[in-house]
Amino acid sequence: MQLIADHIAHAYGPLPVLDDISFTVGPGEVVAIVGPSGCGKSTLLRILGGLEKPQAGRALVAGAPPAASLNPLTFVFQDFALLPWRTVEGNVRLVLEGHGLSQAVVAETIRDVLARTGLTDFARAYPKQLSGGMRQRVGIARALAARPAVLLMDEPLSALDAQTRELLMDDLVELVSGEGSAEALGMVYVTHNLDEAVRLADRILVLSRRPGRVRETVTVAGDRRARRSDDPELVRRARELWELIRADAAEADRELADVETING
Amino acid sequence: MQLIADHIAHAYGPLPVLDDISFTVGPGEVVAIVGPSGCGKSTLLRILGGLEKPQAGRALVAGAPPAASLNPLTFVFQDFALLPWRTVEGNVRLVLEGHGLSQAVVAETIRDVLARTGLTDFARAYPKQLSGGMRQRVGIARALAARPAVLLMDEPLSALDAQTRELLMDDLVELVSGEGSAEALGMVYVTHNLDEAVRLADRILVLSRRPGRVRETVTVAGDRRARRSDDPELVRRARELWELIRADAAEADRELADVETING
Amino acid sequence: AQEKVTVGVLRFVSSGGLFLAVEKGYFKDEGLDVELKFFEAAQPIALAVVSGDTEFGVTAFTAGFYNLAGKGALKVIAAQAREKKGYEGNLVLASNAAYEKGLTSLDKLSGKSVGITQVGSSFHYQMGQIAAANGFALKSVELKPLQSLPNMVASIKSGQVDAIIIAPHLAKPLAASGEAKLIGRVSDVTEYQFGGLFTSTKMTTDKRATVEKFVRAYQKGAEDYAKAFLAKDASGNIAHAPDSDATAALVAKHVYPSEEPAQAAAKVKGAAFFVDEKARLDVADILTQVQWLKDEGLVDASVDAKAILDLSFIDGHINAN
Amino acid sequence: MADVAHDLRPAATADNRPVTFRGGLFLPRTHRLVGFAALVALILLWQAASSFGWMSPVLAPSPGEVIDALKRMALSGELATHLSASLVRLAGGFAIGGTAGIAFGMAIGLSSLVRSPGATLVAALFPIPKIALLPLFILWFGIGESSKVATIAFGTFFPMVIATYGAVDNVDRSLVRMGRSFGLSSFAIISKIILPGALPGILSGMRIASSIGIVLLIAAEMIGANEGVGAMVLAAGNLMQSDRLLAGVVVLSLLGLTVAGVIGAVEKRLLAWR
Amino acid sequence: MADVAHDLRPAATADNRPVTFRGGLFLPRTHRLVGFAALVALILLWQAASSFGWMSPVLAPSPGEVIDALKRMALSGELATHLSASLVRLAGGFAIGGTAGIAFGMAIGLSSLVRSPGATLVAALFPIPKIALLPLFILWFGIGESSKVATIAFGTFFPMVIATYGAVDNVDRSLVRMGRSFGLSSFAIISKIILPGALPGILSGMRIASSIGIVLLIAAEMIGANEGVGAMVLAAGNLMQSDRLLAGVVVLSLLGLTVAGVIGAVEKRLLAWR
Ligand SMILES: Nc1ncnc2c1ncn2[C@@H]1O[C@H](COP(=O)(O)OP(=O)(O)OP(=O)(O)O)[C@@H](O)[C@H]1O
Ligand SMILES: Nc1ncnc2c1ncn2[C@@H]1O[C@H](COP(=O)(O)OP(=O)(O)OP(=O)(O)O)[C@@H](O)[C@H]1O
Ligand SMILES: [Mg+2]
Ligand SMILES: [Mg+2]
């Protein structure tokens, strides 16, 4: 299944936040989205996932999702969005309920995704009892459990330390390529971490400051399974990306652009 | 004013999370704390700020805070903790109320911290109307407004893009050294971003996995105002730090340590 | 200066004597500035007199009243209305359904359900008298306390109860419209002292002069009431005095304050219970009432009926020996 | 930097279909007019019920008759008298009961010292019917205005206490911790964090308590009241004047709508941030 | 890697002082025993009031007398008869009114179609005193059990509706959005996200509604009831038997405590996550 952003534009009241965004992502592909804070990245993901109606343009899908997929377009939310009254396990179970899965399959899926996110010991803890990074991992575990065709990830590793992040990125790489029995999946990956972007993405969309517009699309070539974080080539690409962004930053210092304010 | 961690240890029920942490931080100093997700960093900050009682050891202060300080030990929370019913401006004003400040001083302070965090245009927006990174910046603006003697920052830039992060780090550097009229302040800086740690810190406490214990204390020498993110020496230090941490990660893969589980 | 006293009262025609005494200035003549305090239930009136919030009260006698008065705080000093043969009085209605099944007279009430307002109310007592007079046990009747007159009307119309005892101004329209059947009059069975004027025991001892003045004016009101509404012609029918319309209008002001005066006055005339012209109490009946209620377990055995009465303010109470 | 493309829009294939919108958040809208229409429908239903005889005309007159009765009462000035008497009692009683209820509810929600005894006494005293206590009310407050105001104050106090402490219990404690961390005084935390956080629950409690207050006008005006909508309804019941009785009911109902409208407006203003 | 130190503990200076603890989050604790003590204190106060004559013995007997009356009623089996009759009505009425109230409140909170008419009708009908409508209840439901159950059902319905829709309005919509994003059915979102999220408010509403239900036993048992605690209280009131009246009040109060205890236990279980 392919997910297609077709000239998407959006505004909140007088505040334009997205301007003419188009791209495609299919199985085995990762599109990373980087851009300044408040430029509309989360809004774009919501539109792609059908949670918000764009003011112009459309989010489209082409092709059928894999039969086993419980929820073809699956989010990892920036603010986690965990149910505080369910345990870690219960939060994951939420997305498995109502699909007629057997008890055994449900239990096995939960066991698997909690193990992958290092939460096995905290299966019965409530969100309130978790650290920030653990909450974020519950959000990831839940998304994995839904067997998505396209994952819409909003800064999914932002609260994690470098080593946990490494491990989870390895996991994501496997997922995307469809290692083992699983099918390959697509991923839209919003991040502010350029290292993550070059490590994971096939294409990196660099958005301008609000209203977010695609300033550049950077292609990262080569098998992502072969990439290593300390690969000098990747480090160089990340530095390049950074220069690109910094130029934009210098251009318009701070958020004093002449946009309509949201005030009043 | 100095803040002293004196053999602090803590546990939640059967789950030990901190073990014998000691360090000192004073005006003009930055102590960074890095460590795996869930190792007790946020807990440590809460104990240092008097929000939680440690099971052993003490948090101490020595010396008087600067007279102008509204709140000597000030937090930037990992989950922002904004009042949803107050606007951006109102959230900042909260910490200025009740100190007998004149209207003009309050207004000027708010103007200043919002400008520093790039939120001027969103002064009257409610938290719900902000992006993740903007919310985080409100938390920073609020902390700055309180004129702290020691800032306890819990991953304060985690939701921000690289360029905004750069700008805010420059700001923090100035703050710590007491540029201009302001007094120098101390900072305890929890982060999972090693580049941030080497860029800002005098000392980096590397914590082990839960229960968090100081594995290493890494000193970063040199004037922090002269440091640049792309300084090869800093990049080298960050890489060293990463190696140090990775060794720990390899040692005990994933969170399957033999700790008592929180389950049941 | 006039002495201020308040009287607790319900908006019923049977308290007409009191209203006339106010309207015609009899209290003023005695140097009393009387304020009427209208209540919407009888119970609080007695309580207000006990607590000293009002000096006097006029209501019907109920088991509750006797229980309260039996504790020594209240004294009954004059009469209100009375059930008397040949005058307006409570009527017994059967529901249409019950009537069709044969409930056509009072002696057939045994085994039927009868709606009353409250346990220990006058209706309850009157049902007891009917049972005694017709030779069946009260226990054989299923009494349904329904609390309010609208509830009674609703119950009889919908056949929820087989019969009710109810005041004539409500009974007659029901019977006339065919929504229920009239099967008897209470006054055919028994004469009955409905209620009285009472005050606190403290008043009768500490402010005797005031009480005497009040009673005198009250009696005058009762006399006017009797003259206007209760006079009979030779054939025994009520013959209203020529000024009865004006008198009724005065009463109506208090009973139906919101209604058109002419219509209200007519209602007053049509619902005029018997009131003794000198406001004398039927003492023997009160003793009988209390005894019956005691036998039924509704009035505490320790209550001394005679101690409730202070007969010294009016001469010649009926059946006083 | 290589491989820059500005439009990756794919060729539209027959297979393309829009992503299903799934953003419905169950955020219903309020339409004043629809609310009004519902009231009209209720009155029409009532008219139908009396036209088709589902309600006996003796017990329940038609809307027309009731409106007539209302008109007469309005013209004679009687309505104004009753309404103003009741409004004073209601406002006084609700002001006392509501304020005390919020204060006590806050105390139960905030203090270990108050919580157990407070919550227990509320649970024990709330279910006591006011009517059963009328004798004591007369004894303590007399038969003047104070007993009437007290009846309403007592009746609104208890639901406000329960709603308030429920709402306080539900305030996110991480915000309280934030307030503490900035050295806010306990008073500031209570007034700036807990009270606004509990406000939705408190306003919901006020809707309930104000309605209960109106219902209690009847009980309150049982005691020596000549004026007041409750007294009028009672008197009309005793005199079997069902048109007046229902006119009184209509007035109480309109009163309830007004109070609910006011609370709704306050809610809209104070909870705009949601 | 250079400059490794394992203990940076400073020399203790005279000047050192512990960081002030400021973690008090206003999370009061519940102590059953203290609650019980409060009840005992209330009874002692009552005893004192009657011993020192603050309450006229004519109107309010001492606790001792009331306990005597209770004992007599318990021994004669009268208490059991009244209590069981009332419990059946209360349980039935509250079950109907509560369930319908939660369902209707959810509908108001979730659907634009229901919201405006629903909220308006509730605001208009809640303030109508049940007592004024008893004649209509008799007409519609008779004077048997159904009118009694209906009275309680109506009385508990309205507060439950208001509490429920207030609670639903207050559920964090970002959680609903999450549910939508995982393709949960509307039913699943309502039952798994909105209902649990609204639960604290609903339980608080249940505390209020159950107390109102107990109060309404009196109104319900006004109509043709010979058995039931409410009927007993009414009869005792009519007969001025203040010891029996207060005995009835004590029973209602204990009933209220029991129901509150049950709700408290449910709350403790279901809201453990807070
Ligand atoms: N209120 C609590 N009750 C029980 N356990 C808790 C509580 N708060 C934290 N913990 C546990 O304490 C441990 C440390 O949590 P803490 O938030 O201090 O971690 P952290 O180092 O800040 O992690 P992260 O980088 O993910 O934010 C975690 O295992 C967490 O589950
Ligand atoms: N519900 C809303 N109402 C009004 N404005 C909104 C709303 N949600 C977002 N915005 C505004 O839209 C803009 C883009 O927000 P968005 O969350 O998409 O940014 P973002 O790119 O994800 O930023 P960040 O990296 O900080 O998370 C911001 O200026 C924000 O203030
Ligand atoms: Mg975002
Ligand atoms: Mg943390």
Tell me the three state secondary structure of residue E66. helix
Interface test with E, best of A42, A52, A73, A83 (most E CBs within 10 A): A83
* pLDDT tens digits along C48-103: 898 888 999 999 999 999 998 998 889 999 999 999 988 888 999 999 999 999 99
Q: Which residues of D touch E101 (CB under 8 A)?
A: none
Nearest to C228 by CA among C281, C269, C264, C267: C269
What is the C-alpha R_g of chain A?
A: 18
Is 80 exceeded by the pLDDT of residue B247?
A: no
Residue E88 CB coordination number (10 Å): 14
Q: Which residues of D touch B43 (CB under 8 A)?
A: none
Q: Which residues of D touch B94 (CB under 8 A)?
A: 179, 182, 184, 192
Q: Which residue has the higher pLDDT, D22 or A96?
A: A96
CA of B188 to the centre of ligand 1 (A): 18
CA of C75 to the centre of ligand 3 (A): 83
The answer to whether the Cβ–Cβ distance between B133 and A38 falls below 8 Å is: yes
The answer to whether the Cβ–Cβ distance between D180 and E242 falls below 8 Å is: no
E52 part of contact set with chain A, CB < 8 Å: no
Predicted local confidence at residue A172, as pLDDT: 93
Shortest CB distance from A42 goes to which of B42, B120, B132? B132
* pLDDT tens digits along B186-245: 999 999 999 999 999 999 999 998 899 999 999 998 888 888 877 888 888 888 888 888
Nearest to C305 by CA among C70, C122, C79, C78: C70
Predicted local confidence at residue E41, as pLDDT: 95
Task: Kindly state whether residue D24 falls inside one of the protein's structural domains.
Answer: no
Predicted local confidence at residue D14, as pLDDT: 57
The answer to whether the Cβ–Cβ distance between D19 and A7 falls below 8 Å is: no
CATH architecture, domain defined by A2-66+149-263 = 3-Layer(aba) Sandwich (3.40)
Task: Kindly state whether residue D246 falls inside one of the protein's structural domains.
Answer: yes
- Ligand 1, residue A122: give the atom nearest the CA: 31
The answer to whether the Cβ–Cβ distance between A62 and D5 falls below 8 Å is: no
B87: closest chain D residue by CA: D273
Is 60 exceeded by the pLDDT of residue A138?
A: yes
Q: Are A37 and B167 in contact (CB under 8 A)?
A: no
The ligand placed nearest to the CA atom of residue B34 is 1
Is 90 exceeded by the pLDDT of residue E86?
A: yes
Mean pLDDT value of segment D178-198 = 96
Interface test with D, best of A214, A215, A233, A239 (most D CBs within 10 A): A214
CA of B18 to the centre of ligand 1 (A): 10
Q: Which residues on neighbouring strands pair with residue C37, listed in sequence order?
A: C8
Residue D225's domain is classified under what CATH number?
A: 1.10.3720.10
* pLDDT tens digits along E153-179: 999 999 999 999 999 999 999 999 999
A50: closest chain E residue by CA: E181
* pLDDT tens digits along A64-83: 888 889 999 999 999 999 99
Task: Kindly state whether residue D20 falls inside one of the protein's structural domains.
Answer: no
Shortest CB distance from E238 goes to which of C71, C120, C153? C120
**Residue C22 DSSP one-character state:** H
Q: Which residues on neighbouring strands pair with residue C145, listed in sequence order?
A: C116
The answer to whether the Cβ–Cβ distance between D184 and B81 falls below 8 Å is: no
Q: Chain C to chain E, count of Cβ pairs less than 8 Å apart?
A: 91
Tell me the three state secondary structure of residue D142. coil
ipTM of the complex as predicted: 0.92
Task: Kindly state whether residue D91 falls inside one of the protein's structural domains.
Answer: yes
What's this model's pTM, rounded to 2 decimal places? 0.92
The answer to whether the Cβ–Cβ distance between E23 and B52 falls below 8 Å is: yes
Task: Quickly list DSSP for A141-170.
Answer: HHHHHT--SEEEEESTTTTS-HHHHHHHHH
Task: Quickly list DSSP for A219-256.
Answer: E--S-TTT--TT-HHHHHHHHHHHHHHHHHHHHS-TT-
The answer to whether the Cβ–Cβ distance between E235 and C144 falls below 8 Å is: no
Look at ligand 2, atom 25, and give the residue with the nearest C-alpha. Answer: A37
Q: Are B19 and B211 in contact (CB under 8 A)?
A: yes
D131 part of contact set with chain C, CB < 8 Å: no
E133 part of contact set with chain C, CB < 8 Å: no
* pLDDT tens digits along B3-17: 999 999 999 999 999
Q: Is C153 left (phi over 0), alpha (psi -120 to 50) or beta?
A: alpha
Look at ligand 1, atom 5, and give the residue with the nearest C-alpha. Answer: A129
Q: Chain A to chain B, count of Cβ pairs less than 8 Å apart?
A: 147
The answer to whether the Cβ–Cβ distance between A75 and E192 falls below 8 Å is: no
Taking the CA atoms of residue B131, residue A76, residue D178 and residue B263 in that order, the dihedral angle to the nearest 10 degrees is 180
A57: closest chain D residue by CA: D18
Q: Which amino acid is at B37?
A: S
- Ligand 1, residue B78: give the atom nearest the CA: 27
Domain positions in chain B are 2-66+149-263, 80-147
Extract the tokens encoding E35.
Answer: 């609650």
Predicted local confidence at residue E136, as pLDDT: 80
Task: Kindly state whether residue D159 falls inside one of the protein's structural domains.
Answer: yes
Lowest mean pLDDT among A97-106, B48-57, D229-238: D229-238
Give the model's confidence band at D13: pLDDT under 50 very low, under 70 low, under 90 confident, else very high. Answer: low
Task: Compute the distance between CA of residue C314 and CA of residue B76 in angstroms, rounded to an integer.
Answer: 89
Q: Which residue has the higher pLDDT, E1 or A226?
A: A226
Extract the tokens encoding A31.
Answer: 């599109």
Q: Chain A to chain D, count of Cβ pairs less than 8 Å apart?
A: 64
Predicted local confidence at residue E4, as pLDDT: 41
D178: closest chain B residue by CA: B81
* pLDDT tens digits along E44-79: 998 998 888 777 777 778 999 999 999 999 999 999
D75 part of contact set with chain A, CB < 8 Å: no
The ligand placed nearest to the CA atom of residue B38 is 1
Predicted local confidence at residue B61, as pLDDT: 94
The answer to whether the Cβ–Cβ distance between E273 and A74 falls below 8 Å is: no
Task: Kindly state whether residue D51 falls inside one of the protein's structural domains.
Answer: no
Task: Compute the distance between CA of residue D128 and CA of residue B165 in angstroms, rounded to an integer.
Answer: 62
D19: closest chain A residue by CA: A60
* pLDDT tens digits along D113-151: 999 999 999 999 999 998 888 777 887 888 889 999 999
Q: How many domains does chain E have?
A: 1
Q: Which residues on neighbouring strands pair with residue A54, listed in sequence order?
A: none
* pLDDT tens digits along A203-213: 999 999 889 99
Give the model's confidence band at A108: pLDDT under 50 very low, under 70 low, under 90 confident, else very high. Answer: very high
Shortest CB distance from E4 goes to which of B46, B59, B217? B217
Is 90 exceeded by the pLDDT of residue D236?
A: no
| Subunits adjacent to chain A (3 or more Cβ pairs under 8 Å) | B, D, E
Look at ligand 1, atom 2, and give the residue with the nearest C-alpha. Answer: A129
- Ligand 2, residue A78: give the atom nearest the CA: 27
Q: Is there an atom of ligand 2 within 6 Å of B162 CB? A: no
Q: Are E153 and E137 in contact (CB under 8 A)?
A: no
Residue list, ligand 1 pocket, CB within 6 Å = A 128-134, 159; B 12, 15, 17, 37-43, 78, 210
* pLDDT tens digits along B100-128: 999 999 999 999 999 999 999 999 999 99
Predicted local confidence at residue A254, as pLDDT: 45
**Residue A212 DSSP one-character state:** B
Give the model's confidence band at B93: pLDDT under 50 very low, under 70 low, under 90 confident, else very high. Answer: very high
Predicted local confidence at residue E61, as pLDDT: 86
Write down the H helix ranges in D170-194: 173-181, 186-189
Instruction: Name the residue of B80, B124, B129 to mutate for ligand 2: max ligand atoms within 8 A of Cβ.
Output: B129
* pLDDT tens digits along A153-203: 999 999 999 888 988 999 999 999 887 667 899 999 999 999 999 999 999
The gap from C-alpha C117 to its chain's centroid, in whole angstroms, comes to 13
Look at ligand 2, atom 28, and give the residue with the nearest C-alpha. Answer: A38
CA of A18 to the centre of ligand 2 (A): 10
Is 80 exceeded by the pLDDT of residue B262?
A: no
Predicted local confidence at residue D141, as pLDDT: 87
The answer to whether the Cβ–Cβ distance between A3 and D19 falls below 8 Å is: yes
Give the model's confidence band at A247: pLDDT under 50 very low, under 70 low, under 90 confident, else very high. Answer: confident
CA of A12 to the centre of ligand 2 (A): 9
Interface test with D, best of B42, B51, B78, B83 (most D CBs within 10 A): B83
The answer to whether the Cβ–Cβ distance between D21 and A53 falls below 8 Å is: yes
Nearest to E151 by CA among E201, E224, E254: E224
Is 80 exceeded by the pLDDT of residue B254?
A: no
Is 90 exceeded by the pLDDT of residue B173?
A: yes
The answer to whether the Cβ–Cβ distance between D143 and C153 falls below 8 Å is: no
E80 part of contact set with chain C, CB < 8 Å: no
Q: Please give the residue range of the domain that contains residue E183.
A: 58-270
Q: What is the mean pLDDT of chain A?
A: 90
CA of E59 to the centre of ligand 1 (A): 61
Q: Which residue has the higher pLDDT, D11 or C17?
A: C17
Give the model's confidence band at E13: pLDDT under 50 very low, under 70 low, under 90 confident, else very high. Answer: low
Q: Which amino acid is at A248?
A: D
Predicted local confidence at residue B249, as pLDDT: 62
Please name the residue that has the structure tokens 């419209």: C177
Predicted local confidence at residue E224, as pLDDT: 83
Mean pLDDT value of segment C263-274 = 87
Q: What is the mean pLDDT of chain D?
A: 89
Q: Which residues of C touch D234 (CB under 8 A)?
A: 40-41
Q: Which residues of D touch B74 (CB under 8 A)?
A: 181-182
